[in-house]
Structure 1
C-alpha cells in the first residue's frame, strides 16, 4: 500500500466510525412547564447518553392512560422510549436495562417523588424506593430496589 493511500485511509477512519456509530436512543419527556425536578430528570437521562426531547403539558394523565400506566403508579412526568412508558424518576441505568431485556411490558415506574431518585436529589438524604416493571394486565413486578 502506498503511503498516500495509507494516510487517506487513516484520515477517513474517524468519519467511518462516526457513520457506523449508533445514534443516541431518544426519550420523549412530557412534563409540566414549571416543574424543576422533571427538568433535572431529563438532564439525568442526557448525562447517561440519551437524546431527550421535552414536550411541556399541564396534564400527563391522558398520555399515561393511553400508554397503559395505571394511576396508582403515576409520577410527576412521563417519558416514552422505544415504545415503553417511563413514569416518574426512573434511573437511566434501569432504562438501559429495560431496553436491553426488551420485556413484554408497558414500561417502568417510580411512583411518587422519592427523595434521592434521579432529579429528586437533596444533599445526602435518600429514601428507599422501587422501580416497578409495569406488566400487561395489571401484573406489576419489582424491577429494581434502591435502599437508603
Structure 2
C-alpha cells in the first residue's frame, strides 16, 4: 500500500527544521565526548609505559608520545613530588598525570577541574592499567592529587575498579 503525501513548502520547511535539529543534537553529543590530546613522555625501553599508552588510547584519548632517555628533569620541571614519581609522565588539559592512572580518574580530573598540578600513582601497582599480570590478583592503590607542597587521596582503586 502506497501513501501519497502532498509536498508543500510548509511541510518541507518543517521536515528540514527537524532534520537540522537532529543533526545539531548529534553534533553536540559527539563534541562533548571529545577528549583533549594527551602528551606522554616515557623512557623508550619501558614496556609497561607502552601498555598504559595503548590502554589510554583505547579509552578514547588522542595521544602524542615523546621518548626521552631521562624523564626525571621533566618530572621536576612539572612539579611532580619525588614520593609520587613513576615510570612515565603525561600532560593533559593543564594537568600532570604521573604513572598508571586509570582513564576514569583522568576524565574525572578534567571534569572537576580542581586547583592542582595533577594526579599520580607512585610506583607500579600490579593490576593498574598497563601493569596487569595474568594470574596475579590486582593490588589496591591510591591516586594522589597534588599541588605545591600538598597532596591527598583523589581516589582508591583495586585494578581498574574504583573502591
Residues 1:94 and 1:11: Cα distance change in structure 2 (over 3 Å) = same
Gap runs ≥5 in structure 2: 1-9
Residues 1:33 and 1:11: Cα distance change in structure 2 (over 3 Å) = same
How far apart are 1:140 and its partner, in Å? 0.5
C-alpha contact (below 8 Å) 1:135/1:141 kept by paired residues:
no
How far apart are 1:145 and its partner, in Å? 1.2
Superposed, which structure 2 residues align to 1:1-148 within 5 Å?
Answer: 1-2=10-11, 6=15, 10=19, 17-18=26-27, 21-22=31-32, 23-123=34-134, 124-136=136-148, 138-147=149-158
Gap runs ≥5 in structure 1: none
C-alpha contact (below 8 Å) 2:118/2:146 kept by paired residues:
yes
Instruction: Count the aligned residue pairs.
Output: 147
Runs of 4+ with deviation above 6 angstroms: none
Larger radius of gyration: 2
Of 70-79 and 41-50, the range deviating more from structure 2: 41-50
TM-score normalized by structure 2? 0.78
> Cα deviations across residues 30-89 of structure 1 (Å, max 9, x unaligned)?
011121111111111112111111111111111111111011111000000111111110
Residues 1:15 and 1:58: Cα distance change in structure 2 (over 3 Å) = farther
